[in-house]
Structure 1
Amino acid sequence: MQARSALFDLYGDYLRTRGSRAPVAALVRLLAPLDIAAPAVRTAVSRMVRQGWLHPLRLASGPGYLLTPKAARRLDEAAARVYRTGRGGWDGRFDMVVLHDAPLARRDADRLAYLGYGALGPQVWVAPRASDELETALQEAGAGYERFSAGHTAGSAGAAGIVARAWDMDRIGQSYQDFEERLRPVVRAVTARSSDEEAYAARFRLVHAWRSFLFHDPQLPAPLLPPGWPGIRAAAFFDKHAARLRPAADRYVERCLQTTGRSARVGFSEP
């Protein structure tokens, strides 16, 4: 797990609701259970400051870092997708973008994929839901484009064909099955005899792995999902264990934020 990616997870899942700030010493303590060393944390923090994600500030407990408005927006949007809140139905129409010129660079294409868009060809992208960030992403890429809202004349069958061309659903489905197999022993290892730190580390790895789906799964509405979609079972697995481990993880976070160097072992308790 990379320090920069872990910091985004930490701020998004734990610090966003705690003032969006933390002393650097607490950041180091909170990433230590993930085997991320202090120098890596400090280097990643400096990089995130340069990129406009974090803002340095002085806290009562020492130097700290606050999320910038840009980062707060991005993390709030990511949280809504991770926990699948605020998602409505589907009106049968795709948001379609036709680029004027050459295909997007890899970095810009990855950004569109993160926003839920799939490529029908080098210059045509579609998504089942329009993203508020799309125009900004294309402007920063320097791409000219036309944007349409379109439904397929062949109805559901035509829409299914669009999905099959824009996304490799077999690969994504296999990724969900692999996710369950990889994380099941991690979360099941946390029992009533485990410490809060152990519960926190397991939950952090669970959420980190789940968050990776934001980069390649468009989170299609139910009418567009293949029959027996593995993502539904994987989501239930994630929800169950993320909720089960949350109280102990929260206790550990609070202790790291409130203490300086003092360690304690508090038993994990099942809800």
Structure 2
Amino acid sequence: MPSNPQTLMLMLLGDFVLDRDVCVFSGSVIDVLDRLGISSHATRSTLTRMVNRGLLRRQRDGRKMYFGLTPRAAEILRDGRARIWETGAVNDRWDGTWTLLCFSLPESWQRQRHDLRSQLAWSGFGPLQGGLWIAPGVVPAQDIVDGLGLSAHARVFHARAADLTDIGQMVSDAYDLAGLAARYQEFLDRWEGPAPYSDPLAARLSLIAEWLGAIRRDPRLPVEHLPVGWPAVRAQKLFRDLDAASLSPARALAAGLLDLTPSAVRD
């Protein structure tokens, strides 16, 4: 599914502003997002919202307004960069370890329960039964419960499944495999044929944004315990091939489009 203006803008900033100690002219951002069919009004509104949300800061240079990343935005983009280009979507090097988190909260703690479940899902956990959640590998789950002030109500373990355990069935019980597969299939349907954009910069930003959308809630389950023909394998290869092919032409185009100025504040 095509990404929203804020996501596309973050991809632009992650590719050309992050870790470079520069700010980008608002007119440049408008020009780039126009190539993706986003109006100047929508781009200006998105810039303002991102400033209000603490993701961007303004920096004036003469009559021009530039925008730079805040530390919070830089952290978000570095996390996204790691997920996209380092961690990957296919877990083919799993060592057999699981992180288990069991919790029991008072019935009236609905908000705390919601917050805990949301953070667990984001970190790759799936509900196995009742208050028992699992995630492949060693996950810093204690940091999650400590951060929510729930350490007295949760316990974290690292373990391996016994030989008689049907891990494939356990994975199927704890995770929405159909939903995960559908996101990768949607990515494949959109990108296996002709690129949605002929413009190389627009195509690259859209490609990265949509790939991040596909993988950001993926718990990276061990591929040997997933259904045969798991679409993430083909989707990841497609993304990496398209990413490599788009890099040089997109950067050459961006060099002529982006008006950058040194940042007065480091990211």
TM-score normalised by L of structure 1? 0.77
Aligned residues of 2:124 and 2:135 also touching (Cα < 8 A): yes
- Shift of the 56–156 alpha-carbon distance from structure 1 to 2, 3 Å rule, reads farther
Q: 1:38-85 deviations in whole A, cap 9, x for unaligned? A: 222222222222322222223578322222222222211211211234
CA distance in 1, matches of 2:171, 2:202: 36
The amino acid of 2:255's aligned partner reads: E
C-alpha RMSD over aligned residues: 3.2
Q: Which residue of 1 aligns with 2:38?
A: 36
**SS of 1:72 mapped into structure 2:** helix
Q: Which residue of 2 aligns with 1:96?
A: 100
- Shift of the 226–156 alpha-carbon distance from structure 1 to 2, 3 Å rule, reads farther
Deviation of 1:105 after TM superposition, in Å, equals 6.3
CA distance in 1, matches of 2:141, 2:57: 22
Aligned-pair identity in percent equals 26
Matches within 5 A, 1:176-195: 176-187=184-195, 190=198
Matches within 5 A, 1:1-271: 1-19=3-21, 21-59=23-61, 62-85=64-87, 89-101=93-105, 102=109, 109-121=117-129, 123-131=131-139, 135=143, 139=147, 143=150, 145-155=153-163, 157-187=165-195, 190=198, 198-258=199-259
CA distance in 2, matches of 1:69, 1:131: 24
- Shift of the 51–244 alpha-carbon distance from structure 1 to 2, 3 Å rule, reads same
CA distance in 2, matches of 1:53, 1:137: 26
The number of residue pairs the alignment matches comes to 251
**SS of 2:18 mapped into structure 1:** helix
CA distance in 1, matches of 2:203, 2:41: 23
- Shift of the 27–107 alpha-carbon distance from structure 1 to 2, 3 Å rule, reads farther
- Shift of the 233–153 alpha-carbon distance from structure 1 to 2, 3 Å rule, reads closer
Contiguous gaps of at least 5 residues in structure 2: 261-267
Deviation of 1:178 after TM superposition, in Å, equals 2.6
Q: 1:207-232 deviations in whole A, cap 9, x for unaligned? A: 22111123432122444443322111
**Structure ranking higher on relative contact order (CA contacts 8 Å, 6+ apart):** 2
Aligned residues of 2:97 and 2:138 also touching (Cα < 8 A): no
Q: 1:187-244 deviations in whole A, cap 9, x for unaligned? A: 2874xxxxxxx01112222222111123432122444443322111111111111111
